[in-house]
Amino acid sequence: MNADDRAFRVEAPAPLPHIGAFGMDTISLAGTLPAKLDAVRDAGFSQIMLSARDVVSHAEGFDDAVRAVRRSGLRVTGFQVLRDFEGLDGPLHDYKIACPAYTLFTDGQPCRRCVGGTVANAVVHGRPDSDGTIELTCEVDDDALVVRVRDAGSRGAVEPRALEPEVGHGRGLAIVDALSSSWSVDRTDGTVVIARVPLGWQSA
């Protein structure tokens, strides 16, 4: 190695003390989502703020993007603010339209309670997949938010219990039954609870 080689050699700096208590935004980095996650983790950060574009426009698809985030071991602190609606198309446009439709134009309390009720029922009475997860999906369908929660369990009756004021548990499906316009159970593959929650913009 000559003097010129040494002059242009740059050593990667060691992670700064306490940097693990901080995070970075994927929108501030170049490259693919996996490359961004690797760079943030290798720099010593423990948290990540995700840009919607990095997730829904990932070349290998949304599910692979989710797996990449999980494999990184970084704690997700949130998603970038919604912006730049003009000129968007495809999955990114659908994502950015669905989010404000739920958060701005609906009565979010019934939606949150219904989601919480279905998830609570799956956690308490169901069984997670082999990777320890329970699947939750929400989508806007005309005048309703459709909530789907899937777990790997297949035993026991899936039905609401009578509400008892002195009992502080067992209310998950009772809440779903009270707040949804309809709900059903599919046991083709594990247990899937599907609920339709009316959206508030119809009466706004």
pLDDT of residue 38: 93
Contact between residue 48 and residue 74 where contact means Cβ atoms under 8 Å apart? yes
Domains in the chain: ranges and CATH: 18-103 (no CATH), 108-203 (3.30.565.10)
Distance of CA 128 to the CA centre of its chain: 16
Give the list of residues 6+ apart from residue 123 with CB closer than 8 angstroms, or none. 134, 151
Spatial separation of the C-alpha atoms in residues 163 and 64, rounded to whole Å:
41
Give the list of residues 6+ apart from residue 196 with CB closer than 8 angstroms, or none. 141, 144, 145, 146, 147, 180, 181, 182, 183
pLDDT digits (tens, 9 = 90+) for 149-172: 999 888 877 777 665 544 444 567
Contact between residue 142 and residue 198 where contact means Cβ atoms under 8 Å apart? no
pLDDT digits (tens, 9 = 90+) for 52-93: 778 878 888 888 888 899 899 898 887 776 555 555 666 666
Reference 54, options 150, 179, 72, 42; nearest CA is 72
pLDDT of residue 139: 87
> Mean of the per-residue pLDDT values for the chain?
76
The identity of residue 112, as a single letter, is R
